[in-house]
Amino acid sequence: MQIALKLLLVALLLFIVFNLGRALLLMLKDNSGSHNMSQYLGRRVALSAFVVVLLILALMGGWLQPNPRPY
Protein backbone atom coordinates (compact mmCIF):
# COMPACT_ATOMS: atom_id res chain seq x y z
CA MET A 1 0.00 0.00 0.00
CA GLN A 2 2.80 2.41 0.90
CA ILE A 3 4.76 1.80 -2.28
CA ALA A 4 1.64 2.17 -4.44
CA LEU A 5 0.82 5.51 -2.78
CA LYS A 6 4.38 6.73 -3.24
CA LEU A 7 4.38 5.70 -6.91
CA LEU A 8 1.06 7.49 -7.42
CA LEU A 9 2.45 10.66 -5.84
CA VAL A 10 5.60 10.53 -7.98
CA ALA A 11 3.53 9.96 -11.13
CA LEU A 12 1.28 12.91 -10.27
CA LEU A 13 4.28 15.15 -9.62
CA LEU A 14 5.84 14.16 -12.95
CA PHE A 15 2.53 14.89 -14.70
CA ILE A 16 2.45 18.31 -12.99
CA VAL A 17 5.94 19.09 -14.31
CA PHE A 18 4.90 17.87 -17.77
CA ASN A 19 1.88 20.21 -17.78
CA LEU A 20 4.07 23.10 -16.70
CA GLY A 21 6.46 22.37 -19.57
CA ARG A 22 3.61 22.20 -22.07
CA ALA A 23 2.31 25.58 -20.90
CA LEU A 24 5.82 27.03 -21.20
CA LEU A 25 6.16 25.81 -24.78
CA LEU A 26 2.78 27.28 -25.71
CA MET A 27 3.71 30.57 -24.07
CA LEU A 28 7.02 30.75 -25.95
CA LYS A 29 5.30 29.86 -29.21
CA ASP A 30 3.52 33.23 -29.02
CA ASN A 31 0.33 31.85 -30.47
CA SER A 32 -2.97 33.64 -30.03
CA GLY A 33 -4.54 30.49 -28.51
CA SER A 34 -3.73 31.28 -24.89
CA HIS A 35 -6.75 29.20 -23.87
CA ASN A 36 -4.64 26.04 -24.20
CA MET A 37 -1.93 27.46 -21.98
CA SER A 38 -4.44 28.32 -19.29
CA GLN A 39 -5.81 24.78 -19.45
CA TYR A 40 -2.36 23.32 -18.76
CA LEU A 41 -1.69 25.78 -15.94
CA GLY A 42 -5.12 25.18 -14.42
CA ARG A 43 -4.61 21.44 -14.56
CA ARG A 44 -1.25 21.87 -12.84
CA VAL A 45 -2.77 23.91 -10.02
CA ALA A 46 -5.65 21.46 -9.55
CA LEU A 47 -3.30 18.46 -9.47
CA SER A 48 -0.98 20.24 -7.03
CA ALA A 49 -3.90 20.86 -4.68
CA PHE A 50 -4.94 17.20 -5.04
CA VAL A 51 -1.40 16.04 -4.18
CA VAL A 52 -1.34 18.20 -1.04
CA VAL A 53 -4.75 16.87 0.09
CA LEU A 54 -3.66 13.30 -0.68
CA LEU A 55 -0.48 13.76 1.37
CA ILE A 56 -2.41 15.17 4.33
CA LEU A 57 -4.93 12.31 4.20
CA ALA A 58 -2.15 9.72 3.91
CA LEU A 59 -0.33 11.17 6.91
CA MET A 60 -3.51 11.39 8.98
CA GLY A 61 -4.58 7.87 8.00
CA GLY A 62 -1.20 6.39 8.87
CA TRP A 63 -0.51 5.19 5.32
CA LEU A 64 2.69 7.25 5.20
CA GLN A 65 5.06 7.83 8.07
CA PRO A 66 6.85 11.20 8.24
CA ASN A 67 10.52 11.32 8.99
CA PRO A 68 10.81 11.57 12.80
CA ARG A 69 14.15 13.39 12.71
CA PRO A 70 14.44 15.64 9.68
CA TYR A 71 18.05 16.63 10.36
Please, is 39 exposed, middle or buried when counting C-beta atoms within 10 Å of its C-beta (0-12, 13-18, 19+)? middle
Q: What is the pLDDT of residue 29?
A: 80
Amino acid at 57: L
The pLDDT tens digits for 25-34 are: 888 886 665 5
Collapsed DSSP state (helix, strand, coil) of residue 1: coil
Q: What is the pLDDT of residue 33?
A: 56
The pLDDT tens digits for 53-68 are: 999 999 999 999 888 8
For the chain, list the strands marked E by DSSP: none
The pLDDT tens digits for 6-54 are: 999 999 999 999 999 988 888 888 666 556 788 888 899 999 999 999 9
